[in-house]
Amino acid sequence: MVVIAIPTASAPTINRIRLAAIVANVPVKVLPSTTQLLHDNVGIRDLRDVNITDVLGRNQLDTDVEAIASYLTGRKVLVTGAGGSIGSELCRQIHRFEPAELMMLDRDESALHAVQLSIHGRALLDSDEVILCDIRDEPTVKRIFATRRPDVVFHAAALKHLPMLEQYPAEAVKTNVIGTGTLLEAADLVGVERFVNISTDKAANPCSVLGYSKRIAERMTAEQAREADGTYLSVRFGNVLGSRGSVLASFARQIAEGGPITVTDPEVTRYFMTIEEACQLVIQAAAIGAPGEALVLDMGEPVRIVDVAHQLIEQAGTPVPIEFTGLRDGEKLHEELFGDDEPQDIRPRHPLVSHVSVPPVTEAEVSALPQVGRPEEVRDALAALCKTSGDAEVSVDHPADELVETDRR
């Protein structure tokens, strides 16, 4: 047996060893990640087989723990969408930095139960760390902020399923746009020091309702950055492995049912990152970002979805057919991390985090978006607002001698 006892081993390293072991007919096990080794009770039983997450993700992270601790330790931190895939992992990682108070806000009570259980090993849902609230409810959101007065906010609440939002674009307006605006205003009213809007690669050159709504949310955050005293910024990344509704979960279910595995197009590619990696970089990025900018996480090389399907079939050891269904409305063949009008990939402070400026959008422009009406009308209004450049871009001030331009990966 071969044991990969390198907790920070990169995806290419693991894959190279895995392929060599297949040729040699030797089983391979991997050691848990560095984060698990440092914070969890890890035993010999935790040695496990190589999985698709190891092959696609598991980048080595150079985390500046001191910088993170300085803005989280002893501070009151609120996470919206705390029961979701990204939100719950953010809560688990933030909890390790011993904030004075961790407030987990979600509209799903079962999701709040799950995240509280994962952090404490028990979940009675009777403490004030769990907050049941919909970010569409403006009076309640503002009351919570006025009462609890968070210092740091991670905004992960959003509607995210692209095909669903193509059918119901007004719901994207209500949650991803208006809900974000409510949080930004509430944060400013109570003097939040740092507000982190969780965005997506679909906001770069958007062509879907999801992309439009998240791009507008980035621009709203940039607008708030011009007026507020605190640091308001966005963090943009692509698909996370193992999240709810992710392609891995869908493929695993299809394989278990005997297939076929459905892939939209044989050439379609996506960026992938593990939830753990994404959240570590989100927390890191929040420590180094300037007001109004979007920080773009390095997702490595894009991966062909059909290759992911083949690897899962290989691991399952069961022959399952693959069926190509065609791209759906709003889907791209290849996702992008940067828009055509955004600067080159510049990483002044962290090798895995790029900085781009974001043009602001006015409150009047956002208020003019329809929240009811025919789907095509709402969709067109979102697209039109994304095309406007704003009054001016927020300047991003980084020391000139720190600027390092790197090739886009």
Using the 8-state DSSP alphabet, how is residue 128 labeled?
A: T
Q: Which of 160, 174, 202, 332 is catalytic?
A: 202
Please tell me whether residue 295 adopts helix, strand or coil conformation. strand
Q: Map tokens 């190589």 to a residue.
A: 50
Q: Are 136 and 172 in contact (CB under 8 A)?
A: no
Separation of CA 211 from chain center: 13
* Rounded CA separation 38/285 (Å): 21
Residue 29 β-bridge partners: 3, 49
- Which H or E run contains 231? strand 231-236
Using alpha carbons only, how large is the chain's radius of gyration in Å? 21
- Residue 206 to residue 263: CA distance in whole angstroms: 22
CA distance 70 to 75: 9
DSSP 301-338: S-EEHHHHHHHHHHHHTS---EEE--PPTT--SB--SS
Q: Rounded to 5 degrees, what angle do the CA atoms 34, 241, 406 make?
A: 75
Helix H or strand E encompassing 154? strand 152-155
Phi, psi of 132 (to 5 degrees): -90, 110
Nearest to 289 by CA among 122, 152, 130: 152
Residue 29 annotated among the catalytic residues of the structure: no
329 φ, ψ (degrees, to nearest 5): -55, 130
Rounded CA separation 231/290 (Å) = 7
The residues annotated as belonging to the active site are: 202
